[in-house]
């Protein structure tokens, strides 16, 4: 239990603090190289970014809660859940935690008025989707068999089905 708490805390620290800081610094370095404009969204972008960030963080935290409490695992692959999660945020899409972080980082890019952060977020999204599709899905199918296959057939991969 203590290890799961520590891993969950470190996961939150990484995804909610360290990775956004890396996106910011990486974005600044990328801007020095690409010279992208940063005056493209103003107040509307900041408000939209704030809303996206809040919604994204809440979705990611809600998903992590289900991993920790109901799945008896963590949000990191080396301590996976012990139960197939198909309730809570997982009834809408199979990867709500990643969706939440993508929304939060997109919001961060809008708040900072940084196309570089948005570009890094796109790279992060593509890497995550590749991992989820080609590694994690196979592992979940091996671990949960037909139960996962039914869940996979009924639940969208990334973009939520709300109704």
pLDDT one digit per residue (tens) for the chain, 163 residues:
677 666 667 776 777 778 778 777 777 777 777 776 655 667 888 899 999 999 999 999 999 888 878 776 656 555 566 788 888 999 999 999 999 999 999 999 998 888 888 888 999 999 999 999 999 899 889 989 999 999 999 999 988 877 6
pTM greater than the 0.85 cutoff: no
Q: Give domain 2-154's CATH architecture.
A: Up-down Bundle (1.20)
Cα gap 56→153, rounded to integer Å: 25
DSSP helix/strand/coil, 66: helix
d(CA 125, CA 131): 10
Distance CA 155, CA 159 (A): 10
Question: How far apart are alpha carbons 145 and 139 in whole angstroms?
Answer: 10
């Amino acid at each position: 239990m203590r290890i799961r708490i520590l891993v969950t805390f470190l996961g939150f620290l990484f995804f909610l603090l360290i990775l956004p800081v890396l996106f910011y610094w990486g974005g600044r370095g990328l801007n020095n190289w690409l010279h992208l404009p940063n005056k493209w969204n103003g107040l509307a972008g900041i408000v939209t970014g704030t809303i996206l960030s809040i919604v994204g963080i809440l979705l990611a935290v809600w998903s992590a809660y289900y991993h920790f409490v109901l799945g008896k695992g963590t949000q990191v692959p080396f301590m996976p859940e012990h139960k197939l999660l198909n309730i809570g945020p997982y009834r809408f899409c199979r990867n709500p935690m990643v969706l939440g972080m993508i929304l939060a980082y997109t919001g961060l890019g809008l708040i900072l008025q940084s196309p570089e952060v948005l570009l890094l977020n796109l790279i992060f999204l593509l890497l995550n989707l590749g991992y989820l599709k080609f590694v994690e899905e196979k592992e979940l199918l091996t671990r949960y068999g037909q139960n996962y296959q039914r869940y996979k057939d009924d639940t969208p991969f990334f973009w939520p089905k709300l109704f």
